[in-house]
Structure 1
Amino acid sequence: MTTLLEVSGVSVTFDGFRAINNLSVQFAEAELRAIIGPNGAGKTTFMDIVTGKTRPDEGRVIWGERNISLLGLSESQIAQEGIGRKFQKPTVFEDQTVRRNLAMALKNPRGPFAVILHRKTAQNAARIEEIAEETGLSDQLTRTAGELSHGQKQWLEIGMLLAQDPRLLLVDEPAAGMTVEEREKTTDILKRAAETRAVVVVEHDMEFVRRLNCKVTVLHEGSVLAEGSLDHVTSDKTVIDVYLGRSDA
């Protein structure tokens, strides 16, 4: 399978604390991956580096078939390359309808005349309906985002990212604050999205990760500690010691 993103030998230190320590990890196109690990393991810093928010002290971050170095790009340039990020707290336009939120997020031409000349098109309308269907919001399109439940706002933000047609979607703790039913629906949304792009999910909820049924990367002290299926990594003695807790404790 073709490598979409390669992080190689990356390290970053904040005020003497090494948040990422010689991290090397690869992600393929159209794959679903979960990243787990204790607090301070480097999960958020990893996403910050990939999206250009944090510059590492050393290492390489290579993107796509053209082998572009993301380290030389700005956050907006990285987003334009096709990397989308969803933070833990949903950020939607609460006073706008769900349809309008999705419409504003659609990937359309950008330029001095593009916004002026842009009109609602049948293609855009169809894409909005398609995203709403994917995210379970078809019957919510006319509601304002502020009226949605926490879970629905999360789905709307995922939908807004999908509207930008990213090749890689980074999702931070989507299960936080959700009901059991919402968590189940969220795993379905992410699994479907991963059929056509890479989706990387940072999560603490092990049941949520189990339902994703995907490859798992365990981070500890800024490095990869273990990788494989959830059953494989959760049976690893070192993972149990540093993250899951001793079974005989």
Structure 2
Amino acid sequence: MSRLLEVSGVSKTFDGFRAINNLSIAVDEPELRAVIGPNGAGKTTFMDIITGKTKPDEGTVVFGDKSISLVGMSESKIAREGIGRKFQKPTVFEAQTVRENLAMALKNDRGPFDVLFYKKNRDDSARILELAEEIGLADQLDRMSGELSHGQKQWLEIGMLLAQDPRLLLVDEPAAGMTPAEREQTTDLLKRAAKTRAVVVVEHDMEFVRRLNCKVTVLHEGSVLAEGSLDHVTANPQVIEVYLGR
């Protein structure tokens, strides 16, 4: 296991509100990490800063073996460095089949013309099947993505991110709106993905976090309040007061 992401002394203020306050977090590769905390704790801003959507006022964000600085790098360049992000609401191409969605996402060097004149090769077909099996949609490959359930769309989007082979996958509230069976399958999917890469899951649902069975970071007012196993952090009096007691 080696250090993949190092966020050090990062702060960010929006209109006088300090969303992130001297935040330091390190993530290893491979690792599964859950990030929890009350609303306004800075969870989304934390992900925005890593992916280049938001530039911090101070601090450093360093990624990968060569310790590349992500601060000031464009969102597309950060994605190419190997950071994938899944937002809460699934964004899949609903008028395309599951197979077509995965094919479009495969990590090939594709300019606009390559995508237009894309021809499937045998390696791609095998990889698409492998991805579909990993996300539990192997029997849905020829179905229109718009017909999938909410949970299945979430899995398809995770599959599309995995197709790009990211080293770090950021996943925002994957359990929201899922049936209990879908949530169970989602935890299994994320645990499998985290065997070969870093997966950071932002989640409110404690039962879902418990099933992930991983290290938990609790954010509060833009800083790390506690870190450790779920049992360890939920026994912390400050965590009980600011988060669990509500």
TM-score for the superposition, normalised by structure 2: 0.98
Residue of structure 2 in register with 1:20 after alignment = 20
* Distance 1:18-1:51 versus aligned 2 partners, 3 A rule: same
Question: How far has the Cα of 1:102 moved from its partner?
Answer: 0.3
Letter in 1 for 2:158: I
User: Does residue 75 of structure 1 match 2:41?
Assistant: no
CA distance in 2, matches of 1:99, 1:41: 38
CA distance in 2, matches of 1:2, 1:133: 28
User: Does residue 144 of structure 1 match 2:144?
Assistant: yes
Q: Report SS of the residue matched to 1:171.
A: strand
Q: Report SS of the residue matched to 2:71.
A: helix
Residue of structure 2 in register with 1:45 after alignment = 45
Residue of structure 1 in register with 2:9 after alignment = 9
Letter in 2 for 1:131: L
Letter in 2 for 1:93: F
Q: Report SS of the residue matched to 1:34.
A: strand
Residue of structure 1 in register with 2:135 after alignment = 135
Question: How far has the Cα of 1:109 moved from its partner?
Answer: 1.5
Alignment of 1:1-249 (within 5 A): 1-111=1-111, 114-115=114-115, 118-245=118-245
CA distance in 2, matches of 1:98, 1:166: 20
CA distance in 2, matches of 1:172, 1:78: 18
Question: How far has the Cα of 1:137 moved from its partner?
Answer: 0.2
Question: How far has the Cα of 1:115 moved from its partner?
Answer: 4.0
Letter in 1 for 2:94: E
Letter in 2 for 1:168: L
How many pairs does the alignment contain? 246
CA distance in 1, matches of 2:153, 2:7: 31
Kept in 1: contact 2:61–2:71 (CA 8 A): yes
Question: How far has the Cα of 1:2 moved from its partner?
Answer: 1.1
Question: How far has the Cα of 1:107 moved from its partner?
Answer: 0.2
Question: How far has the Cα of 1:79 moved from its partner?
Answer: 0.2
CA distance in 2, matches of 1:238, 1:199: 26
Structure 1: give runs of 5+ residues left out of the alignment.
none
CA distance in 1, matches of 2:19, 2:73: 21
CA distance in 2, matches of 1:239, 1:100: 44
Deviations 1:136-162 (A, max 9, x none): 000100000000000000000000000
- The alignment-based identity, stated in percent, is 79
CA distance in 2, matches of 1:183, 1:22: 33
Provide the aligned C-alpha RMSD in A: 1.2
Question: How far has the Cα of 1:119 moved from its partner?
Answer: 2.1
Q: Report SS of the residue matched to 1:71.
A: coil
Moved over 6 A (4+): none
CA distance in 2, matches of 1:40, 1:27: 22
Letter in 1 for 2:226: A
Letter in 2 for 1:47: M
CA distance in 1, matches of 2:142, 2:53: 34
Question: How far has the Cα of 1:216 moved from its partner?
Answer: 0.2
Deviations 1:74-131 (A, max 9, x none): 0000000000000000000000000000000000013476446642111100000000
Letter in 1 for 2:39: N
CA distance in 1, matches of 2:125, 2:72: 36
TM-score for the superposition, normalised by structure 1: 0.97
CA distance in 1, matches of 2:183, 2:111: 39
Deviations 1:182-207 (A, max 9, x none): 00000000000001110000000000
Q: Report SS of the residue matched to 1:88.
A: coil
**More displaced stretch, 237-246 vs 43-52:** 237-246
Q: Report SS of the residue matched to 1:126.
A: helix
